[in-house]
Amino acid sequence: MPSDRSTHLNSCRACATTCLLLLFLSSNGWTQDLVIIGSGTIEARHLTKNDVARLFLGLGSTDLQATPVDRDDSRLRERFYRTVAGLSPASVRAHWAKRVFTGRGRPPVMQSEAKVQELIAGQGRIITYAPTGDLPSGATVLLHLDTGSEP
């Protein structure tokens, strides 16, 4: 029969492991929702997931008049496209391969976190996505996306 001390230690280890896992997932953006953000020159308006999907997939313009910018973080990008369009990374690549081949457009430029912060601070009109807890200075939140339990 285990002693009270060993039971207590096992309980503490389990609690510590759970806390570390939650901290890890949170720091990697897995438990945070996403927001659609724009540079400070973009006025906030009613924007839908469909508007965002169409803009990032080159399927028509919106009255937002902004240039979409993809993020070079593959997990963040995957969460974004799964949330707004229900597409896997392979489906997004196939979509853009077909559009480029037929001359119907080019995918959004992919930028690093540092470059996105620079673009947001500049005078350009860009739109991108970010975890709710990681908003660049000067960004305007245009839409909150509830990603639910999606990684």
- The average pLDDT across 16-45 equals 63
- The average pLDDT across 129-134 equals 90
Long-range pairs, 132-137, Cβ under 8 A, ≥24 = 132/32, 132/33, 132/34, 132/35, 133/29, 133/32, 134/29, 134/32, 135/35, 135/37, 136/37
pLDDT at 77 over 90: yes
- Using CA atoms, how far residue 67 sits from 15, 16, 63, 99, 123, in Å, is 45, 44, 12, 17, 12
pLDDT at 18 over 60: no
Residue 1 confidence class, pLDDT cut points 50, 70, 90: low
Element (H, E) at 110: strand 109-111
Give the integer Cα–Cα distance in Å for 138 and 117. Answer: 9
Residue 64 has what pLDDT?
77
Residue 119 confidence class, pLDDT cut points 50, 70, 90: very high
More confident residue, 8 or 82: 82
**Residue among 70, 46, 75 nearest 141 (CA):** 46
